């Protein structure tokens, strides 16, 4: 099975451990991007994964591509050109001190992508899944147009499509609103990750419960088969509780609640959930097991430094089965 993802990859710079920006004279470097994080997670779960993006044509861009290859993600369809590599700075919180992120991604090489840069037909031929998020169409008209072409090609080829409709208002700076762009993208989805609040804000679809909102969304977007969301209770920066749910138009499937303490790294945990859920939908003929696998994958990502989930199927299955002991393996 081949999974294709599309989106920007950035360089993450952080003070060591839980240090503050004002304290440090060195920064730890990781690469990450929400769609690429999904690709890496799926590759670690044993599936074939390819990421489509555009990097600057210099040493940092080549290093970012090398990072993806290191974790068995194909970079065959990566493009290179002008522009810069987007950055973000993370200060990791602890206890009652929250983490904070500062973005520096304007005018990145990826934001300059154009539809003619990507020939989706050969990329998606034979694929088992295509994944995108709401970050990508927020970055530029070119990125939004390129993504729409990818979704339409996937639909034509019968490839399932998932969309994480995350919304960050400060990213939409090129003259279009998400309400103008997102509906056409969502029309081509099989699976949508989002909350009833987002359904109301982006699509003017209202429901008093997630189930009611999901039914209303399915009426507006009849190609969508599944809606999913996660619930997080942040007791502190170091202690969270996490669960997930999946709606198929008839029933809601809910995972157990995972008590996560201490947290090593919260970044990329939503991407780990989506990767785990995609894996479950492709592998299991059991929606309850699929949502449980996704939630367990997300819980494990909280224990792994960096943006990507490096958990194996066996590790996720162990946690999903109820074994959270962390017992030493020999």
Reduced to 3 states (helix: H, G, I; strand: E, B; else coil), residue 3 is: strand
Q: What does the pLDDT read at residue 324?
A: 85
What are the structure tokens assigned to 196, written together? 């009833």
CATH number of the domain bearing residue 160:
3.40.1190.20
Q: What is the mean pLDDT of residues 304-312?
A: 96
**Percent of the chain's residues with pLDDT above 90:** 95
In 7-75, where do the E strands start and end? 10-14, 28-32, 48-52, 54-56, 73-74
Q: pLDDT per residue over 177-204, tens digit each?
A: 999 999 999 999 999 999 999 999 999 9
Q: What is the mean pLDDT of residues 57-86?
A: 97
CA distance 61 to 211: 43
Q: What is the mean pLDDT of residues 124-131?
A: 98
Contact residues for 217 (Cβ-Cβ < 8 A; gap 6+)? 192, 199, 203, 205, 224, 227
Q: pLDDT per residue over 84-101, tens digit each?
A: 999 999 999 999 999 999
Residue 290 within any structural domain of the chain: yes
| Residue 68: Cβ within 10 Å count | 25
What are the structure tokens assigned to 323, written together? 């074994």
Residue 329 within any structural domain of the chain: no
Is pLDDT above 90 for 329? no
CA distance 282 to 25: 45
Residue 328 within any structural domain of the chain: no
Residue 326 within any structural domain of the chain: no
* Residue 52 and residue 78 in contact, taking contact as beta carbons nearer than 8 Å: yes
| Residue 284: Cβ within 10 Å count | 13
What are the structure tokens assigned to 91, written together? 């200060």
Helix (H) or strand (E) holding 131: strand 129-133
What total of structural domains would you count in the chain?
1
Residue 330 within any structural domain of the chain: no
Mean pLDDT score across all residues of the chain:
96
Task: Find the domain containing 278 and state its range.
Answer: 2-320
Residue 20 within any structural domain of the chain: yes
Handedness of CA 143, 265, 195, 292 (dihedral sign): positive
């Amino acid at each position: 099975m081949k999974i294709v993802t599309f989106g920007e990859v950035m360089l993450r710079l952080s003070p060591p451990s839980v240090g503050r920006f004002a304290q440090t004279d060195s920064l730890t470097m990781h690469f990450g991007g929400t769609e690429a994080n999904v690709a890496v997670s799926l590759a670690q779960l044993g599936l074939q994964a390819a990421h489509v993006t555009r990097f600057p044509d210099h040493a940092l861009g080549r290093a970012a591509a090398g990072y993806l290859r290191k974790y068995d993600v194909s970079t065959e369809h990566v493009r290179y050109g002008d522009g810069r590599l987007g950055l973000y700075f993370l200060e990791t919180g602890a206890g009652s001190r929250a983490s904070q992120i500062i973005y520096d991604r304007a005018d990145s090489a990826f934001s300059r992508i154009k539809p003619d840069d990507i020939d989706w037909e050969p990329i998606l031929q034979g694929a088992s899944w295509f994944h995108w998020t709401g970050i990508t169409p927020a970055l530029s008209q070119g990125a939004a147009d390129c993504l729409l072409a990818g979704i339409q090609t996937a639909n034509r080829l019968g490839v399932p499509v998932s969309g994480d409709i995350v919304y960050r208002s400060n990213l939409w700076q090129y003259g279009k609103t998400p309400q103008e762009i997102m509906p056409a993208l969502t029309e081509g989805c099989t699976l949508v990750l989002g909350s009833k609040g987002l359904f109301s804000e982006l699509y003017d679809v209202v429901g008093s419960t997630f189930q009611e909102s999901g039914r209303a969304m399915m009426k507006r977007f009849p190609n969508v088969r599944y809606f999913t969301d996660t619930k997080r209770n942040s007791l502190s920066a170091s202690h969270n509780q996490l669960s997930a749910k999946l709606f198929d138009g008839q029933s809601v499937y809910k995972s157990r609640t995972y008590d996560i303490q201490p947290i090593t790294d919260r970044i990329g945990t939503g991407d780990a959930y989506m990767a785990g859920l995609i894996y479950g939908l492709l592998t299991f003929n059991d929606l309850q097991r699929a949502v449980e696998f996704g939630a367990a994958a997300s819980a494990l990502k909280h224990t792994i430094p960096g943006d990507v989930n490096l958990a194996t199927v066996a590790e996720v299955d162990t946690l999903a089965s109820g074994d959270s002991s962390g017992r030493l393996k020999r």
